[in-house]
Structure 1
Amino acid sequence: MVFDQIDREILSLLARDGRLTFRELGDAVHLSANAVSERFRRLQAGGVIRHIRATLSPSALGRDLHAQIEVKMAAGTSAQEFENALRHLPQVVSATLMTGSFDYVVRVACSDREDLMGLTETLRRHAGVSETYTRVILHEVELVNAV
């Protein structure tokens, strides 16, 4: 799909704040709300814009301990089985299938160390995991560079 600099500006603005109205977007890129609406629908139909959703703050929900858990799958556990097991664990923020020594990197937000330890044990016992390597995240910078 071909898109121009105005499309890129619209995408960048929406990546920072998905609640912007077409009028607000139009004011920012010097177009009418109708013109922005047409561009939005084209970008959405073309698969560039997949979702507009709320991003929840784990810390505001009492999950202040953030970590990455590298996971090595047990023999016989499929990626689909593992990913389905993760969907039932509220601490899991995301999971990325990787190359290298470990199969997945799982991003988690836990309430405290005990919660993190319990989650790690759950992964080993019920999610087909043979080995984990956990690192606590001390600081994270969220960069929104959409295009």
Structure 2
Amino acid sequence: MALTSASRRSSGAEPAPDAALDDTDRAILELLLHDGRATLHELAAATGLSTSATSVRVRRLVERGVIAGFHARVDRALLGRPVEVLAQVQVRADADLALFEGMLADSVAVVSAWQVTGEFDYAVHLACRSLPDVEAELHRLREQPGVRRTSAQLLLHRVPSWSGVA
């Protein structure tokens, strides 16, 4: 897992504003969000464009960074990690954030991690093998240098989410 943020981008480029996307771009993005393996032919048929024109648009969306990558969505339970937890971590002001983030990046249990605002400094999505594994992961988080306290919630059911394209 790699921790990234707009402030850490090596290019320093800001994402293109949403206004630069037209309805066809949004339709392509919506289709790819629902099926990242959709072919250019399928995208073209759904948008009314030719395959060539669709290819140009997808390539442009990738070049502009609107499409940051293509990923597989996996069933963590079938991978032996059916227990998911959202852990919040509060660190001391003098904590070595690079060291902490490096530990998160190296952990097989960390699905994603975000530096956040509010009472806690990090939100960490964990996928664990069992409840004892959750306890061990939370203990490992608490024992990191600079960690002040943690809190965790067991994730029960994923709610369908907004695609963010419309």
The TM-score normalised by the length of structure 1 is 0.92
Offset from partner CA, 1:3-23 (integer Å, 9 cap, x none): 211110000000111111111
Offset from partner CA, 1:55-114 (integer Å, 9 cap, x none): 222111111111111101145323222111011211111111111211111111111110
Among candidates 97, 122, 125, match of residue 140 of structure 2: 122
CA distance in 1, matches of 2:140, 2:55: 46
Match of 1:90 in 2: 108
Paired residues, number: 147
Among candidates 63, 86, 95, match of residue 77 of structure 1: 95
CA RMSD of aligned residues (A): 1.5
* % identity of equivalent residues: 38
Q: Structure 1 stretch 112-121 or stretch 79-88: which is displaced more?
A: 79-88
Is residue 25–residue 36 contact of structure 1 (8 Å, CA) maintained in 2? Answer: yes
Match of 2:152 in 1: 134
CA distance in 2, matches of 1:146, 1:127: 36
Matched letter for residue 77 of structure 1: A
- What does residue range 105-116 of structure 1 map to in structure 2 within 5 Å? 105-116=123-134
Match of 2:161 in 1: 143
- State the shift of 1:40 in Å: 0.6
Offset from partner CA, 1:31-74 (integer Å, 9 cap, x none): 11101000011111111111012122211111111111110114
CA distance in 1, matches of 2:49, 2:162: 23
Matched letter for residue 160 of structure 2: E
